[in-house]
Each structure stands twice: as C-alpha cells, then as structure tokens.
C-alpha cells in the first residue's frame, strides 16, 4: 500500500483497490511512516496553463465560467466544481481540456443518502486562476450576492455559451404533462441579466420572479423555449447531455406556424413528405 501511494496513487484509489475505507488507508500510511500528501501537494502535481482565465475568448472558457457561476466555488487558491454522477462525463471533458492526459482524478463523495447520486468534484489549485476568476465576477459565498459580469467580460458572440453554462448548473427544462417549462435560478441581478440578453437576442418575453430566497427567470411559451434551446446550443461542443436531450424532446412536441415570425415546424410525417 505504501509503495503504491508513493508512486502517486491517491487514497480513494487505494481504498477501492483494497476494498476498504479511505480512513483505514490513512491509518495504515501513518502507521508505516508514509509522508501523506496535503490537498495542495496533490494539486501541484499537475501542470496547468495559469493564464487561461485572464480573458474569456473561446466557447469552453465562456461555458466553464457560466458553470462556475452556478455550480462552482472559488475559495482562497482553489477552484472546484461538483456535479452528480449522471453528469460525470462533463467533468471528465473539462478535466481533459484543463489538464490534458495527466492522471488527475476526480474526487468522489457519497452523501450517504440512498436517494442521492454520488458527487464528483473537479478541482484546480492555483492562486493566479482563482484571482483571475474573481476578477471576472466568480466569487465565493455567491448564492445571494452574485452579480452579472461587467460589460466586456463575455464577448457577445460567446454569451450563449456562458448562459448555457449557468443553465446547466442552475437551470430546469422539462415537460410537465404537455406543458414545457424553462427556468434558471439565481440572484436577482443574474436573473435580470439573463432575461435582458434573451429578450434582446430573441425578441421574446422572459419573466423574472422571486422563489424563496432566490429568483428565477422563466419562460412559458413553447415557441420561445424552442428558440432559447436553438440559441443556447448553437455551435455548442460542450454541454450537459441530459438537458440537451430534454430540449430535443420538447422540440418534437412543437408544431406551430406563424406568419408573424415566419417560423414553421411541422409534425415529423409532414416534414418527411416535404423533404421528398
């Protein structure tokens, strides 16, 4: 066990390998004199470009910032984001973008509740990156104080990727009976910021209202929800797959033709006839 640990194996990996608990692994390492690694030591093993968040200039950076705004945390010199097991592949993709093929592992946490999924966490340890993200508006303890980014932080051509990141973290999409619903939770400032962008870009009505201690921007029109989905996923290569699938399901339910918008969506059988 000590030899594997000194070769770089993590304590969770050792616990899984020996079919035991992480606490038992630590006791064995201490008993046999192994020098245990701190959280900082673990993260320093992996190289990362510390200038990546000096500027938001591509899809994945805009998306990742949005995801951090909703589901992430920037605390001291550490940046981390946690997602449930069903979204693990998204974290693996982000890990590959950030760390390449380095053997960095995701931290796994079991909440102990049989009704909850395992939680997977991706962490970055870098004072430079943490400071840059704070400058972009991603602060700690943000649930009641988070504000919409300053003008110019997110280029207009990347705004839909940024909002998609927020949506994947704090958004809801689904069919309730035959009624589709779309909403994104956040602070009043964030909700108003999203509503303003969607209204200006798509010329649709977006509502903002309070829910308990937070706010929601929400859309009730089928047609508007479909427009939002098409805009959010335009040229997208990184997203939460289960929410994208929900949009596709809703898209199939909308059969609407309006001379005002020129938008036409026929049932599948009619679409096939027209194509022929």
DSSP states of 41-67: HHHHTS---TTTTSS--SHHHHHHHHH
Specify the pLDDT at position 260: 41
The two tokens of residue 64 are 């990742």
181 neighbors 173 (Cβ within 8 angstroms): yes
Residue 32 lies in a domain: yes
Residue 21 lies in a domain: yes
For the chain, the domain total comes to: 1
Residue 202 lies in a domain: no
Specify the pLDDT at position 44: 58
Specify the pLDDT at position 196: 97
Residue 11 lies in a domain: yes
Q: Which residues pair with 257 in a beta bridge?
A: 264
Residue 22 lies in a domain: yes
pLDDT per residue of the chain (276 residues) written in tens, 0 to 9: 888 877 777 788 888 888 888 888 888 888 888 877 665 555 556 889 999 999 999 999 999 999 999 999 998 899 999 999 999 999 999 999 999 999 888 988 887 788 888 999 999 999 999 999 999 999 887 777 899 999 899 999 999 999 999 999 999 998 887 788 999 999 999 999 999 999 999 999 999 999 878 999 999 888 899 999 999 999 999 999 999 999 998 888 876 444 444 444 444 333 322 222
143 neighbors 214 (Cβ within 8 angstroms): yes
What residues contact residue 60 under an 8 Å CB cut-off, 6+ apart? 94, 97, 161, 237, 238
Residue 69 lies in a domain: no
Specify the pLDDT at position 276: 25
d(CA 64, CA 56): 10
d(CA 52, CA 62): 11
Q: What is the pTM of this model?
A: 0.78
Residue 28 lies in a domain: yes
Q: Which domain holds residue 17?
A: 2-37
Specify the pLDDT at position 2: 80
Residue 197 lies in a domain: no
């Amino acid at each position: 066990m000590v030899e594997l640990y000194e070769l770089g194996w993590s304590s969770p990996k050792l616990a899984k390998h020996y079919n035991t608990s992480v606490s038992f692994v630590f006791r064995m390492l201490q008993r046999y004199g192994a020098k245990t690694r701190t959280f900082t030591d673990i993260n320093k093993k992996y190289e990362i470009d510390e200038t990546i968040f000096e500027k938001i200039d591509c899809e994945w950076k805009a998306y990742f910032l949005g995801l951090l705004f909703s589901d992430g945390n920037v605390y001291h010199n550490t940046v981390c984001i946690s997602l449930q097991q069903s979204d693990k592949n998204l974290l693996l993709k982000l890990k590959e973008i950030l760390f390449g093929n380095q053997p960095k592992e995701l931290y796994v946490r079991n909440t102990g509740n049989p009704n909850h999924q395992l939680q997977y966490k991706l962490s970055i340890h870098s004072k430079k990156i943490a400071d840059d993200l704070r400058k972009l508006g991603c602060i700690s303890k943000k649930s009641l104080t988070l504000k919409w980014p300053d003008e110019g932080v997110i280029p207009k051509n990347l705004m839909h990727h940024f909002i998609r990141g927020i949506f994947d973290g704090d958004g809801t999409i689904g069919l309730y009976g035959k009624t589709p619903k779309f909403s994104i939770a956040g602070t009043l400032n964030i909700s108003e910021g999203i509503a303003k962008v969607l209204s200006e870009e798509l010329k649709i009505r977006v509502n903002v209202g309070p829910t308990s201690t937070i706010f929601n921007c929400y859309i009730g029109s089928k047609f508007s929800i479909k427009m939002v989905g098409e805009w959010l996923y335009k040229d997208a290569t990184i997203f939460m797959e289960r929410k994208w699938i929900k949009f596709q399901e809703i898209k199939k339910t909308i059969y609407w033709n309006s001379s005002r918008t020129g938008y036409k969506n026929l049932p599948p059988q009619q679409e096939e006839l027209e194509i022929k």
